[in-house]
Structure 1
């Protein structure tokens, strides 16, 4: 029998109960989570905010952002009323900035069209901006205890190993989703979804899974076959191309910095940044004003999802009456390096350390 045909038994009530029992003892302490057994009802706003922040981002990276957002905007109505620039500034450094733009769009739709209340069904949640199938399922299950299929990277790994599925990702996603759907219980589905995610994050980890203390170790087909550490398999990714560009840091005598807000659509959309050239195979000069530009001795290197970026950094000190042909000067009091996305902040740090 081939490895991929060695399918584990279906999750029965006993296995789901084992998972929930394990979760009751081992649930992670997360700022957006209601602990198992707590009588408090989950806040859909906090669940939604955490799920958007966690997309392609680690729990460790998200925690501080979540605390800042919920302290500054405690409700979805507060977030909906926020200025775009303030929200984008708080999001700076978290990456995937389309999420922040969709965050604002979604908050405003909920506040204006749903009286500040998130829809309590999967289909209703899917109508909101920026909410796709995974996020709708997660909010529906965790916030409203609906038996929806929550399939993130952790759950995919648990399903692939439990059923010993060797079809590589992403082709295996439909099969893994089907497995997860069949195994989602009607009772406490929100806790169950979080239990499987926690299992993948803490025990069924990508490398060196701790099979000896896993609550699913006995029925796990990959553990029986000795293949757990090699699953899930993934289709090799194509090499990332490298793009180049030039950015220009101009500072007036009074300490003001020349900045521009990038267009809403596209990479780093809506974020503050330094004026510069387009990014392509060759860096092209595109100074935002006439000045004696000095090239910093090091380059900025940054990797996005689909390409590597190398930026040459030019700096110039200019007079207070200088008029740029793109961007606008922000006073020293208004400029916060923390409002810059990571790649732009790298350029500032490079200047600061020069």
Structure 2
């Protein structure tokens, strides 16, 4: 069955593929950056980030030697910051072992930090025309529908099976185009959450789910584990035009990024004032801010906030607390998008808002 979809997909992709900045080249570095950015992030959101990242770090050596704060600032707003940390670890290895060029070898690519089967397949097939599949969520959805596969697409066994099946039909002439065609089909035609555009699908005649009127039953996806709920009180502490920032620990969620000082749980006005005094600061005014929410993959933050004006003559006891001008924060200090609902109260643009 899969053999029948190869030629129709390639013809459709050639005529209908979206114009994207990373498709203008077959450079392995560009393909790698785009594929890592596209994990957990929409294509339209990635475009400006990709262009900014490549302008700032045009070569593998630039990524390998980039200071951490600058690297995280370039990634600010994309989330899942370990992605870019692993990219830098991989870049260092590539510079040291492979003269700054990603190896043209599928198995060697998988030995690099942050590069699994999918990313290795994308780089190998697109940049080096190595006939290996690149199985992402879009590809799994397409294959599950055309084959009426009832397996849970979240299970590794399902991914392994699809990868093995696709390996048998990979076109040796342009495997990268075939992989991208499958991904593109899943992104713009065989879409999730709603009705796929079967009337314009180039492989509709091969789709068992469509023929059986069961397209809405696929793919099968196991119920996700419930997110842990956390409550936090966010403090926008200002001494004149400067805003207080605090660097998060080097491990754990949002490791090494800068944040607004915050407290676990919901705190009252009086509790916040006492905490500000414990910081060694003298509160002059306090104002309640609306509640906000931010959802991570496994955790949900429910937040409330206060804006607190303090004396400019004070110095915080906590050495990790900094008072920084907004302009300098936007330029030099990576602050995660989780705080974007409160950043606007101090005219601070984060990540995507700034781009």
TM-score by length of 1: 0.86
- 1:341 equivalent among 314, 324, 336: 336
Misfit runs of 4+, over 6 Å: 280-285
Question: RMSD between aligned alpha carbons?
Answer: 2.4
**Structure 2 equivalent of residue 224 of structure 1:** 211
In the alignment, the residues of structure 2 paired with residue 152 and residue 79 of structure 1 have an alpha-carbon distance, to the nearest angstrom, of 25
**Structure 2 equivalent of residue 37 of structure 1:** none
SS in 1 for 2:21: coil
In the alignment, the residues of structure 2 paired with residue 227 and residue 281 of structure 1 have an alpha-carbon distance, to the nearest angstrom, of 47
- 1:290 equivalent among 277, 281, 290: 281
In the alignment, the residues of structure 1 paired with residue 44 and residue 172 of structure 2 have an alpha-carbon distance, to the nearest angstrom, of 31
**Structure 2 equivalent of residue 299 of structure 1:** 291
Cα distance, 1:333 vs structure 2: 4.3
In the alignment, the residues of structure 1 paired with residue 102 and residue 266 of structure 2 have an alpha-carbon distance, to the nearest angstrom, of 45
Structure whose residues are more often strand by fraction: 2
The answer to whether the aligner puts 1:263 opposite 2:254 as a matched pair is no
Q: 1:332 to 1:305 in 2, by over 3 A?
A: closer
Contiguous gaps of at least 5 residues in structure 2: 349-355
In the alignment, the residues of structure 2 paired with residue 104 and residue 281 of structure 1 have an alpha-carbon distance, to the nearest angstrom, of 37
Cα distance, 1:231 vs structure 2: 0.9
The answer to whether the aligner puts 1:248 opposite 2:235 as a matched pair is yes
C-alpha offsets along residues 57-87 of structure 1, whole Å, 9 cap, x if unaligned?
1111111101111122222222223221112
Alignment check: 8 A CA contact 2:94 2:101 kept: yes
The answer to whether the aligner puts 1:328 opposite 2:322 as a matched pair is yes
**Structure 1 equivalent of residue 75 of structure 2:** 91
Matches within 5 A, 1:302-313: 302-313=294-305
Q: 1:281 to 1:154 in 2, by over 3 A?
A: farther
**Structure 1 equivalent of residue 112 of structure 2:** 128
Q: 1:291 to 1:230 in 2, by over 3 A?
A: farther
Aligned length in residues: 335
TM-score by length of 2: 0.86
- 2:170 equivalent among 169, 184, 191: 184
Alignment check: 8 A CA contact 1:245 1:277 kept: yes
